[in-house]
């Protein structure tokens, strides 16, 4: 009976939230008192009335699309979007109603609430942890807003919840493991946010789940095998993340699955043979990964029988047959081939055709270990997987001038022998991984002319063997890290054509071997450090198209004009004003 009543309330909510375009406001909206006294309200407890008023006030209720009755009558149960049963608020439905502002914690006082529907508004701020007090809640829809911050772990206490929809916001942080306690959950939609970290294995406890949407975030790590326990799952969307590793064969237990989305991840390896158990699967996307397909007749028959299929189209190459390098290194090369559309490379001689992988074009080996990959200007497209980090003897990587996209891979910190990394002139986006600062032997780091964004990681200051650092031609922002002053062997620092701001750190004057410094075409401000004159080896210095000014003293100007390749602002810094001291004379 309770479920039937709730269904009727949901239908009422959906019909009551739709207004004809241009409909005039209800007559009750015309009169709105300056302040509302819940002490005179009838029909619900005062605390619940005050929670409604707090929501109205906090989300600019005066400008809601429909605010019929709100603060205009003393019967809150008659206010638009409010449904009461037995003197308690049971449903609050204000979807697509122009709410603008934050959710007040007082909403957590609506103790009998079964549905909170606030989707498709302009709600900002964080999700209040007080919502974890709504233990009767069955539906929580806050999607398509501008919410930020973490998902409160307290939501894991809403054990009656059947639908949790937080997608299309700006939420960050990790997915709380406590969400695995929502035993009645049927739909979990966290997609299109900025969530990071691993997928919690606890989500495998959600036995009633029909839909799991985690796509379009920055989730990393492996897909947990526990997701194979979700026997009622119909849709699993994990695409557009940073997931890595191989697919767990346990996913083959999802025999009711209709749709599976894995594309745009750093996944690699073969599709598990257990996937042939997914006989109801009608949509399967795994393109733009390094996943390969078993070539046997039975598996290919199952795969080709899927109606909506987007695949890599690469038949698995068994590295067991390779005899001139460790299998793990061969697997890493195969992963690179698949994830970068190897069949479309300009030159791919002997790749996946020869059992001597050291003879594949662009691969160099020493003593049976891969130490060189040179595939520049070779029409590589797609993404690079983190499996590249298994080539632990690698010293030289040159993938520049291709069409590579996506984020720079995490997990390259194991390449401690790497000397040169050339990834310039591609279409990489997202941040520069901080773990690149672990490459202690790196001498050349070239990331120029991509679409990288975010700050320059201060960890790059740990690359004390570095000779050249090319970060130019990206969309990097924030300040120049002072830690770059630790790169004492640096010959060239190229930060131009970005969105870097703030002053030039004085620590750069520690780079006494520096020959070239390019800072131009950034919104940098302030005074060039006078101590730059210590850079006696410098011959190229570009800082035009910035807001930097030059010290006007003779020593600095003599040093500056003595540089052979100078591009400057030509703006002399104003002299610092010194307040004159006038003694006080007492007569």
pLDDT digits (tens, 9 = 90+) for 179-195: 999 999 999 999 999 99
Q: Is the pLDDT of residue 19 over 90?
A: no
pLDDT given at position 587: 41
Q: Taking all residues of the chain, what is their mean pLDDT, rounded to a whole number?
A: 92
pLDDT in tens, 403-440: 999 899 878 888 999 999 999 999 999 999 999 999 99
Per-residue pLDDT band for 57 (boundaries 50, 70, 90) equals: very high
Distance from the Cα of residue 586 to its chain's centroid: 68
Per-residue pLDDT band for 242 (boundaries 50, 70, 90) equals: very high
pLDDT given at position 34: 56
- Is residue 329 within a helix (H) or strand (E), and if so which, with residue range? helix 327-339
CB-count exposure of residue 577 (10 Å: 0-12, 13-18, 19+): exposed
pLDDT given at position 567: 97
Q: Which residues contact 34 (CB under 8 A, 6 or more apart)?
A: none
User: Quick one: average pLDDT of 263-274?
Assistant: 93
Of 26-30, 163-167, 393-397, 468-472, give the lowest mean pLDDT range.
26-30
Q: Is the pLDDT of residue 505 over 80?
A: yes
User: Quick one: average pLDDT of 530-539?
Assistant: 97
What CA–CA distance (Å, rounded) separates 221 from 316? 23
Q: Is the pLDDT of residue 26 over 70?
A: no
Encoded tokens for 223: 């897909």
Encoded tokens for 123: 């709600």
Contact assessment for residue 372 and residue 364, using Cβ atoms and an 8 Å cutoff: yes
What CA–CA distance (Å, rounded) separates 399 from 379? 10
Per-residue pLDDT band for 106 (boundaries 50, 70, 90) equals: very high
Cα angle 399, 403, 405; round to 5? 95
């Amino acid at each position: 009976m309770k479920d039937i009543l709730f269904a009727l309330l949901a239908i009422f909510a959906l019909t009551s939230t739709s207004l004809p375009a241009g409909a005039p406001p209800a007559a009750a909206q015309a009169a709105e008192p300056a302040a509302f006294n819940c002490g005179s309200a009838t029909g619900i407890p005062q605390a619940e009335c005050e929670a409604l008023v707090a929501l109205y006030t906090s989300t600019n209720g005066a400008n809601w699309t429909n605010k019929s009755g709100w603060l205009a009558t003393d019967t809150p149960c008659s206010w638009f979007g409010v449904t009461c049963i037995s003197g308690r608020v049971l449903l609050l439905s204000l979807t697509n109603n122009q709410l603008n502002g934050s959710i007040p914690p007082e909403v957590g006082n609506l103790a009998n609430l079964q549905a909170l529907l606030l989707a498709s508004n302009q709600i900002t701020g964080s999700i209040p942890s007080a919502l974890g007090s709504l233990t009767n809640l069955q539906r929580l829809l806050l999607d398509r807003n501008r919410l930020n911050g973490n998902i409160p772990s307290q939501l894991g206490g809403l054990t009656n919840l059947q639908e949790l929809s937080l997608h299309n916001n700006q939420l960050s942080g990790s997915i709380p493991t406590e969400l695995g306690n929502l035993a009645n959950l049927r739909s979990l939609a966290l997609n299109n946010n900025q969530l990071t970290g691993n997928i919690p294995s606890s989500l495998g406890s959600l036995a009633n789940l029909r839909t799991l949407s985690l796509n379009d975030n920055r989730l990393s790590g492996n897909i947990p095998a526990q997701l194979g326990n979700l026997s009622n799952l119909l849709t699993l969307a994990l695409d557009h993340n940073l997931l890595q590793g191989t697919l767990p064969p346990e996913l083959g237990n999802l025999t009711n699955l209709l749709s599976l989305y894995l594309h745009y991840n750093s996944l690699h390896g073969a599709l598990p043979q257990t996937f042939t158990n997914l006989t109801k699967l009608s949509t399967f996307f795994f393109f733009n990964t390094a996943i390969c397909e078993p070539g046997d007749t039975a598996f290919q028959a199952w795969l080709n029988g899927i109606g909506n299929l987007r695949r890599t189209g690469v038949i698995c190459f068994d590295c067991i047959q390779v005899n001139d390098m460790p299998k793990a290194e061969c697997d890493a090369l195969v992963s690179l081939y698949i994830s970068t559309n190897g069949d479309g490379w300009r030159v791919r001689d002997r790749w996946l055709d020869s059992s001597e992988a050291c003879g594949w074009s662009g691969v160099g080996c020493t003593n049976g270990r891969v130490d060189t990959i040179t595939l520049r200007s070779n029409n590589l497209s797609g993404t690079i997987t983190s499996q590249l980090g298994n080539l632990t003897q690698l010293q030289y990587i040159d993938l520049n001038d291709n069409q590579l996209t996506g984020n720079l891979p995490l997990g390259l910190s194991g390449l401690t022998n790497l000397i040169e990394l050339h990834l310039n002139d591609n279409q990489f986006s997202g941040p520069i991984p901080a773990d690149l600062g672990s490459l202690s032997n790196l001498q050349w780091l070239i990331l120029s002319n991509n679409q990288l964004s975010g700050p320059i990681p201060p960890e790059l200051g740990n690359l004390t063997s570095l000779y050249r650092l090319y970060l130019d031609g990206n969309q990097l922002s924030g300040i120049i890290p002072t830690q770059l002053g630790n790169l004492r062997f640096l010959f060239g620092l190229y930060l131009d054509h970005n969105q870097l701001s703030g002053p030039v750190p004085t620590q750069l004057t520690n780079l006494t071997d520096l020959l070239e410094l390019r800072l131009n075409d950034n919104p940098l401000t302030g005074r060039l450090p006078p101590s730059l004159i210590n850079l006696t080896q410098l011959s190229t210095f570009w800082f035009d198209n910035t807001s930097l000014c030059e010290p006007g003293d003779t020593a600095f100007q003599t040093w500056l004009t003595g540089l052979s390749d100078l591009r400057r602002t030509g703006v002399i810094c104003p002299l610092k004003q010194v307040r004159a001291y006038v003694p006080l004379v007492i007569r």
